[in-house]
């Protein structure tokens, strides 16, 4: 494990460096609280710190308090190693944010097992954070394609609607539907259908910029939310996605399947009074128009009878 | 193998010192050198803080010295440094002067013993 030693007393600092290295840890050492705080702010900060209480600049307790104030999932485990040996000191040290307290001069065996206990707690923390992250992903992403699910893209759309108009930014929606998907399922089986959906999702996801989002809306339907993007921009993006999928057939285990999608685009750039629901309906209507017009194409809402949906 | 016996009047406990370093003699020599090198400066700072009547600083400095001598299991020295630290924290000048006199004496004994320790180690190496 990587451990930061912050001790202003050179002898103790050296002893700690030596012992911790001997116990198999990777040690970084500093001699005051300010330097310790700097190291602990780094993204690659050590996960444990053996911290002296009384140091020049920020003292150990200041560092503990600042660490507790920080909004981060995983804080370093702090062992306060101090010459202050009163019960009141221990209570103050742990109350103010240290995870453990060892008095100087310390017994190496005791310090070693306390580090071990700290390591166990850190591992548990990492494990629960990993599980939480997996659950978060499971709740927000589609299990088959790995794309954001409907709830997530709808959230994104809500957020863009809350923010976009205030800053004069247009919000655009692109709806996409795999052409003749039922035929793919019926001809090649549902596994092949799943493989096609996964492949389509992958091809479209790589075309998106980091600030744009595409998700699985349901069945063989996908939806993209484009922030600060007008109709022309949204149309260009839809065409890019369409071409990316059309470019080459999908190679399944026994056969090669050409796949296309039909796209519908709607944007608040031109339909300023549109609500989220209206925008979705308009994009959906445009997408069905693309279907009727022969599939594998993109249609924009303004050309559709969908305009009648507007209040 | 038996632990090295501390001399009857030794100002520090060699066995405990080594125990605190997991028996690492090389490290013990390094720490001893480090301590002896920094000791005069620490004492000068203490003297200066006391001379200026800066008891807060005196307490902090004494705390640091207490930590350093603690590594050597130098009990009398540790106790004198603790007394000086407490006197400094409490702002008790009389107690601070008394503790300072004690600490100076104990530090002299400790540094002399540690000098002798290093000389002994050097003699052993040269054999």
Would you state the pLDDT for residue A256?
A: 92
Largest CA distance in chain A: 83
Measuring CA to CA, how many Å separate A277 from each of A157, A164, A189, A266, A273? 10, 16, 34, 11, 11
A277 pLDDT tier (thresholds 50, 70, 90): very high
Q: What is the mean pLDDT of chain A?
A: 91
Mind listing the pLDDT tens digit for each residue in B59-78? 999 999 999 999 999 999 99
Would you state the pLDDT for residue A303?
A: 61
Mind listing the pLDDT tens digit for each residue in A249-276? 999 888 899 999 999 999 998 888 888 9
Kindly write down the DSSP assignment for every residue of A246-279, as one continuous string.
HTS-EE-SS-EE---EEEEEEETTT-TT--HHHH
Per CB-CB distance under 8 Å, the chain A contacts of B31 are 11, 14-15
Select from B121, B124, B104, B100 the least CA-distant residue to B33: B121
pTM over 0.80: no
Would you state the pLDDT for residue A74?
A: 82
Mind listing the pLDDT tens digit for each residue in A63-91? 999 998 887 678 899 999 988 888 999 99
Cis-peptide into A40, omega within 30 deg: no
Mind listing the pLDDT tens digit for each residue in A42-51? 989 999 999 9
Q: Stretch A191-214: mean pLDDT, rounded? A: 94
Q: Does domain A2-139 have CATH number 3.40.50.2300?
A: yes
* A51 backbone dihedrals φ, ψ, rounded to 5°: -115, 130
Mind listing the pLDDT tens digit for each residue in A298-307? 999 986 444 4
Size of interface A-B (CB pairs under 8 A): 53
Q: Collapse the DSSP code of A123 into the 3-class scheme (helix H, G, I; strand E, B; otherwise coil) and give the result.
A: helix
Higher per-residue confidence, B67 vs A308: B67
What does the domain layout of chain A look like in residue ranges?
2-139, 150-309
Helix (H) or strand (E) holding B101: helix B93-126
Would you state the pLDDT for residue A264?
A: 97
Cβ-based neighbour number of residue A231 at 10 Å: 19
CATH numbers and ranges of domains, chain B: 25-116 (1.20.120)
CB contact under 8 A, B21 and A18: yes
Specify the DSSP class assigned to residue A2: E
Q: Specify the residue for token string 């330097």.
A: A35
User: Treating both helix axes as pointing N-terminal to C-terminal, what angle do B25-51 and B93-126 enclose, rounded to 10 degrees?
Assistant: 150
Select from B103, B105, B126, B114 the least CA-distant residue to B10: B114
Mind listing the pLDDT tens digit for each residue in A17-45? 999 999 999 999 999 999 999 999 998 99
Tokens of A181: 């998907």
Higher per-residue confidence, A248 vs B124: A248
CB contact under 8 A, B70 and A83: yes
Distance CA A253, CA A199 (A): 13
Which CATH code fits A150-309?
3.30.70.270
Per CB-CB distance under 8 Å, the chain B contacts of A11 are 31, 34-35, 38, 67-68, 71
Q: Are A75 and A68 in contact (CB under 8 A)?
A: yes
CB contact under 8 A, A11 and B34: yes
Distance CA A193, CA A181 (A): 7
Q: Collapse the DSSP code of B22 into the 3-class scheme (helix H, G, I; strand E, B; otherwise coil) and give the result.
A: coil
Q: Stretch B3-28: mean pLDDT, rounded? A: 84
Is pLDDT above 70 for A108?
yes
Which residues of A are the active-site residues? 220
Distance CA A107, CA A98 (A): 19
Is pLDDT above 60 for A2?
yes
Bridge pairing between strands A2-6 and A171-178: unpaired
Distance CA B29, CA A192 (A): 72
Q: Stretch A106-125: mean pLDDT, rounded? A: 95
Q: Stretch B91-110: mean pLDDT, rounded? A: 96
% of chain A beyond a pLDDT of 70: 96
Bridge pairing between strands A100-103 and A77-82: parallel
Helix (H) or strand (E) holding A136: helix A108-140
The A-side interface with B (CB below 8 A) comprises 8-12, 14-15, 18-19, 22, 54, 83-84, 104-108
Distance CA A216, CA A201 (A): 8
Is pLDDT above 60 for B3?
no
Specify the DSSP class assigned to residue A120: H
Tokens of B106: 């104990």
Largest CA distance in chain B: 52
A165 pLDDT tier (thresholds 50, 70, 90): low
- Phi-psi sector, B62: left (phi>0), alpha (psi -120 to 50), beta: alpha
Would you state the pLDDT for residue A168?
A: 78
Q: Stretch A276-287: mean pLDDT, rounded? A: 94
Distance CA A213, CA A255 (A): 31
Interface test with chain A among B71, B85, B89, by most A beta carbons within 10 Å = B71
Tokens of A274: 């549109």
Would you state the pLDDT for residue B122?
A: 75
């Amino acid at each position: 494990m990587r451990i930061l030693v912050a001790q202003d007393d050179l002898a103790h600092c050296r002893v700690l460096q030596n012992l911790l290295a001997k116990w198999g840890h990777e040690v970084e050492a500093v001699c005051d609280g300010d330097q310790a705080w700097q190291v602990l702010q780094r993204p690659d900060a050590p996960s444990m710190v053996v911290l002296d209480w009384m140091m020049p600049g920020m003292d150990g307790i200041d560092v503990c308090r600042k660490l507790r104030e920080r909004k981060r999932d995983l804080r370093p485990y702090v062992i306060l190693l101090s010459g202050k040996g009163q019960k009141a000191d221990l209570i103050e040290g742990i109350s103010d944010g240290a995870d453990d307290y060892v008095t100087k001069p310390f017994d190496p065996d005791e310090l070693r097992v306390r580090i071990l206990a700290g390591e166990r707690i850190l591992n548990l923390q990492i494990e629960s954070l990993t599980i939480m992250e997996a659950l978060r992903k499971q709740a927000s992403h589609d299990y088959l394609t790995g794309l954001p699910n409907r709830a997530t893209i709808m959230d994104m759309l809500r957020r863009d609607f809350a923010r976009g108009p205030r800053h004069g930014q247009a919000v655009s929606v692109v709806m996409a539907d795999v052409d003749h998907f039922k035929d793919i399922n019926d001809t090649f089986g549902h596994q092949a259908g799943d493989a096609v959906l996964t492949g389509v999702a992958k091809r479209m996801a790589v075309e998106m910029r980091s600030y744009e989002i595409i998700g699985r809306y349901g069945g063989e339907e996908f939806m993209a939310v484009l922030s600060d993007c007008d109709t022309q921009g949204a149309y260009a993006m839809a065409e890019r996605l369409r071409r990316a999928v059309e470019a080459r057939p999908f190679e399944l285990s026994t056969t090669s399947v050409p796949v296309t999608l039909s796209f519908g685009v709607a944007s608040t750039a031109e339909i300023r009074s549109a609500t989220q629901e209206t925008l979705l309906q308009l994009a959906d209507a445009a997408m069905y128009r693309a279907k009727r017009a022969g599939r594998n194409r993109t249609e924009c809402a303004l050309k559709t009878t969908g305009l009648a949906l507007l209040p | 193998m038996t632990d090295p016996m501390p001399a009857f009047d030794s100002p520090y406990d060699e066995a405990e010192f080594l125990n605190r370093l997991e028996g690492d003699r090389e490290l013990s020599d390094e720490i001893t050198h480090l301590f002896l090198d920094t000791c005069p400066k620490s004492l000068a700072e203490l003297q200066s803080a006391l001379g200026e009547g800066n008891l807060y600083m005196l307490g902090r400095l004494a705390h640091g010295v207490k930590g350093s001598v603690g590594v050597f299991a130098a009990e009398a020295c540790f106790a004198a440094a603790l007394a000086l630290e407490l006197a400094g924290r409490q702002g008790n000048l009389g107690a601070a002067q008394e503790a300072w006199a004690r600490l100076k004496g104990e530090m002299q004994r400790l540094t002399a013993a540690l000098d002798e320790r290093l000389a002994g180690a050097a003699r052993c190496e040269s054999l």
